[in-house]
Chains A and B, each alone.
Chain A
Amino acid sequence: MRVSIGAIVEGGTSLNYKTGNWREFRPVFAAGVAPCREACPAGVDIGRFLREAKQQQFDRAWHTIMEENPFPSICGRVCAHPCEDACNRKEFDEPLAINALERFVGDHGLRNILVPEIPKPKRRETIAVVGSGPAGLACAYHLRRLGYGVDVLERSPLAGGMLKWGIPEYRLPGRVLDGEIERLRTMGIAIKTEVSLGKEFLTKGLKEYKAIFLALGAQKDLSLDIAGESRSGVLSGLDFLGAVKGGNPPPVGKRVAVVGGGNTAVDVARTVLRLGSKPTLIYRRTREEMPGIAREVEEALKEGVGIELLTSPVKISTQRGRGLKLECIRNRMGKPGPDGRRTPLPVPRSNFSIESDTIVVAIGEAHDPENLTQAVHCNEAGVSVDEWGSTGVPGIFAGGDLTPGPRTVSHAIGSGKKAALAIDAFINGWDKGRAQSLFLGNRGSLSMEQWVNPPPMAHQSNRVVTYEDLNRSYFEPKPRESMPHISDMARRIGSFDEVNMGFSEEGALQESQRCFGCGTCSLCENCYTFCPDSSVWRKDPHETFEIDYEFCKGCGICAYECPSHVIEMIREEK
Chain B
Amino acid sequence: MIPRQDERELFAPGHRACPGCGEAIATRWILKATGTNVIIVSPTGCLETFTSPYMFSPWRVPWIHPLFENGAAVASGIEAALRYKDRSDIRVVVIGGDGATFDIGMGALSGMFERGHPIPYICYDNEAYMNTGIQRCSSTPLLASTTTQPAGRQSWGKDRPKKNMPAIAMAHDIDYVATASVSYPKDLYEKVKKALTMTGASYIQVHTPCCTGWGYPPEKTIEIGRLAVNTGLAPLFEMEAGEIISVHKIGKRVPVEDYLMAQGRFKHLMQSEEGRKEVAKVQRIADHNIERLGLL
Q: How far is the CB of B76 from chain A (nearest CB, A)?
A: 21
Residues of B within 8 A of A559 (CB): 219
Do residues A553 and B19 form an inter-chain contact, with CB atoms below 8 A? yes
Residues of A within 8 A of B54 (CB): 7, 9
Contacts A556-B218, A561-B222 given; indicate if A14 touches B12 (C-beta within 8 A).
Answer: yes
> CB of A16 within 8 A of chain B?
yes
Partner of A557, one of B6, B20, B226: B20
Contacts A532-B21, A551-B13 given; indicate if A9 touches B60 (C-beta within 8 A).
Answer: no
Partner of B13, one of A19, A530, A569: A19
Q: A22 vs B19: C-alpha distance in the bound complex, in angstroms? A: 9
Partner of A533, one of B24, B29, B62, B223: B24
Do residues B220 and A560 form an inter-chain contact, with CB atoms below 8 A? yes
Q: A551 vs B9: C-alpha distance in the bound complex, in angstroms? A: 14
Partner of A556, one of B2, B6, B23, B219: B219
> Nearest A residue to B220 by beta-carbon distance?
A560
Do residues A14 and B222 form an inter-chain contact, with CB atoms below 8 A? no
Contacts A15-B13, A537-B6, A548-B5 given; indicate if A555 touches B20 (C-beta within 8 A).
Answer: yes
> Nearest A residue to B227 by beta-carbon distance?
A473
Do residues A533 and B55 form an inter-chain contact, with CB atoms below 8 A? no
Residues of A within 8 A of B222 (CB): 530, 557, 560-561
> Nearest B residue to A27 by beta-carbon distance?
B219
Do residues B14 and A532 form an inter-chain contact, with CB atoms below 8 A? no
> Nearest B residue to A569 by beta-carbon distance?
B219
Do residues A19 and B12 form an inter-chain contact, with CB atoms below 8 A? no
Q: How far is the CB of A296 from chain B (nearest CB, A)?
A: 37
> CB of B4 within 8 A of chain A?
yes
Do residues A14 and B63 form an inter-chain contact, with CB atoms below 8 A? no
Contacts A7-B54, A557-B218 given; indicate if A532 touches B17 (C-beta within 8 A).
Answer: yes
> Nearest A residue to B186 by beta-carbon distance?
A529
Residues of A within 8 A of B53 (CB): 17
Do residues B22 and A555 form an inter-chain contact, with CB atoms below 8 A? no
From A16, A535, A553, residue with most partner B Cβ within 10 Å: A553
Do residues B56 and A16 form an inter-chain contact, with CB atoms below 8 A? yes
Q: How far is the CB of A487 from chain B (nearest CB, A)?
A: 35
Interface of B is mostly: loop
Q: A170 vs B223: C-alpha distance in the bound complex, in angstroms? A: 50
Do residues B12 and A12 form an inter-chain contact, with CB atoms below 8 A? yes
> CB of B28 within 8 A of chain A?
yes
Q: How far is the CB of A518 from chain B (nearest CB, A)?
A: 19
> Nearest B residue to A22 by beta-carbon distance?
B19
Residues of A within 8 A of B217 (CB): 556
> CB of A198 within 8 A of chain B?
no
Q: What is the total number of residues of chain B having a CB less than 8 Å from a CB of chain A?
A: 45
Binary A-proximity of B214-234 (CB < 8 A = 1, otherwise 0): 000111111100100000000
Residues of A within 8 A of B13 (CB): 14-15, 19, 533-535, 548, 550-551
Partner of B219, one of A535, A537, A548, A560: A560
Residues of B within 8 A of A532 (CB): 17, 19-25, 28, 221
> CB of A11 within 8 A of chain B?
yes
Do residues A10 and B1 form an inter-chain contact, with CB atoms below 8 A? yes
Do residues A556 and B56 form an inter-chain contact, with CB atoms below 8 A? no
> Nearest B residue to A531 by beta-carbon distance?
B25
Contacts A11-B1, A557-B221 given; indicate if A16 touches B19 (C-beta within 8 A).
Answer: no
Residues of B within 8 A of A560 (CB): 219-220, 222-223
Q: A553 vs B17: C-alpha distance in the bound complex, in angstroms? A: 10
Residues of A within 8 A of B275 (CB): none
Among residues 451 to 479 in chain A, which have CB atoms less than 8 Å away from a CB atom of chain B? Answer: 473, 476
Do residues B9 and A12 form an inter-chain contact, with CB atoms below 8 A? no
Residues of B within 8 A of A548 (CB): 5, 13
Do residues A554 and B19 form an inter-chain contact, with CB atoms below 8 A? yes
Do residues A13 and B226 form an inter-chain contact, with CB atoms below 8 A? no
Among residues 16 to 55 in chain A, which have CB atoms less than 8 Å away from a CB atom of chain B? Answer: 16-19, 22
Do residues A555 and B218 form an inter-chain contact, with CB atoms below 8 A? yes
Do residues B12 and A15 form an inter-chain contact, with CB atoms below 8 A? yes
Q: A557 vs B17: C-alpha distance in the bound complex, in angstroms? A: 14
Q: A11 vs B36: C-alpha distance in the bound complex, in angstroms? A: 12
> CB of B285 within 8 A of chain A?
no
> Nearest B residue to A552 by beta-carbon distance?
B13
Do residues B58 and A12 form an inter-chain contact, with CB atoms below 8 A? yes
Residues of A within 8 A of B29 (CB): 529
Do residues B57 and A12 form an inter-chain contact, with CB atoms below 8 A? yes
Residues of A within 8 A of B223 (CB): 473, 560-561
Q: A16 vs B4: C-alpha distance in the bound complex, in angstroms? A: 12
Among residues 120 to 158 in chain B, which have CB atoms less than 8 Å away from a CB atom of chain A? Answer: none
Do residues B219 and A17 form an inter-chain contact, with CB atoms below 8 A? no
Residues of B within 8 A of A476 (CB): 251
Contacts A551-B14, A556-B219 given; indicate if A534 touches B28 (C-beta within 8 A).
Answer: yes
Binary A-proximity of B231-268 (CB < 8 A = 1, otherwise 0): 00000000000000000000100000000000000000
Residues of A within 8 A of B1 (CB): 10-12, 15
Do residues B185 and A530 form an inter-chain contact, with CB atoms below 8 A? yes
Do residues A537 and B12 form an inter-chain contact, with CB atoms below 8 A? no
New contact pairs (4) apart from A532-B25, A532-B221, A555-B19, CB-CB < 8 Å? A14-B13, A14-B57, A15-B13, A533-B17
Q: List 8 A-B contacts (CB under 8 A).
A: A11-B62, A12-B2, A12-B57, A13-B55, A15-B58, A529-B186, A557-B219, A561-B222
Q: Which residues of B contact A (CB under 8 A)?
A: 1-2, 4-6, 9, 11-17, 19-25, 28-29, 51, 53-63, 185-186, 217-223, 226, 251
- For the complex of A and B, list the 10 residue pairs with the smallest distance between their C-beta atoms, beginning with the closest: A556-B219, A14-B14, A532-B24, A551-B13, A555-B19, A555-B20, A553-B19, A14-B58, A560-B219, A555-B218
Q: Which residues of A contact B (CB under 8 A)?
A: 7, 9-19, 22, 473, 476, 529-535, 537, 539, 548, 550-551, 553-557, 559-561, 569
